[in-house]
Amino acid sequence: MTTWTKWAAAALACTTLAGCAGNQAREGNPQDPWEGFNRGVYTFNDTLDRYALKPVAQGYDYVTPQPVQEGVGNFFSNLGEISNTFNSLLQWRLTNAGTSFGRFMINSTLGLGGFLDPATRMGIEEHDEDFGQTLAVWGVGSGPYLVLPLLGPSTVRDTAGLPVDWYTYPVTYVEDSTTRWTLRFIDLVNTRANLLGQEKLISGDRYSFIRDAYLQRRQFLINNGRTGPDPFASDNIQLNDSDFAN
């Protein structure tokens, strides 16, 4: 999962977790003992985004029709179904694995190489899985919240899973390095462009807002969409699938 894919999930979660984020900003989050370091890295990432990535994304958004942007997003999401399938198998979620593989086959054929998403229109839902979630299912604790240079929000457990995510993503195996990095750059810029209209949803302390929403979203994914106690806030918040729908 790319930096801005994680950021997108956090931004979407912020629409329903504003109260939680505000409380945690005042009280501090026990999951973030390295807050001083993390805020420094966050400032670096935010500066890089503001003066480099965001202007590029704005230009891309201006010249690229929305249907094309959706097609590009569908293409990269379809490639991600390989990792979804792999991790679902490791988690022994065989139904999810079959669903993810089925989505990949349908969208790769009927969806013109993944640029269209007929699987979703057929009611076949996506199951977003990565190796960090797999480690959680295996009982590995999340460890502290961690902001990575360039890669953004994470935890110690999710960071440990990044190498596996890298090698289960098909773009990694594109032999020509120019083509490989061009594809990754397009994925990054397209994802960032899709976030331009969502930044206004973030209010108050942006660092705390994104952190708490990211942790909530990760817990939601690890629970495979099941609701449960909120370990990151003083109040229990019940989350539903619709809370994170695009």
Read off the pTM: 0.79
Encode pLDDT of 34-67 as tens digits: 999 999 999 999 999 999 999 999 999 999 999 9
7 Cβ neighbours under 8 A, 6+ residues apart: 152, 153, 195, 210
Is 228 a residue whose pLDDT tops 70? no
Is 174 a residue whose pLDDT tops 60? yes
Asked if 100 and 130 touch (Cβ cutoff 8 Å), the reply is no
236 lies in which domain range? Answer: 3-244
Give the integer Cα–Cα distance in Å for 124 and 111.
Answer: 13
Could you give the number of structural domains in the chain?
1
Encode pLDDT of 78-119 as tens digits: 999 999 999 999 999 999 999 999 999 999 999 999 999 999
Question: Confidence class of residue 177 from pLDDT cuts 50, 70 and 90?
Answer: very high
Is 71 a residue whose pLDDT tops 60? yes
The residue ranges of DSSP E strands in the chain, in sequence order, are: 145-148, 152-155
Is 11 a residue whose pLDDT tops 50? no
The pLDDT, as a whole number, for residue 225 is: 65
The pLDDT, as a whole number, for residue 17 is: 42
How is residue 176 annotated by DSSP?
A: S
Does 1 or 130 have the greater pLDDT score? 130
**Dihedral of the CA atoms 163, 169, 175, 176 (nearest 10)?**
-100
Residues 22-41: what's their mean pLDDT?
79
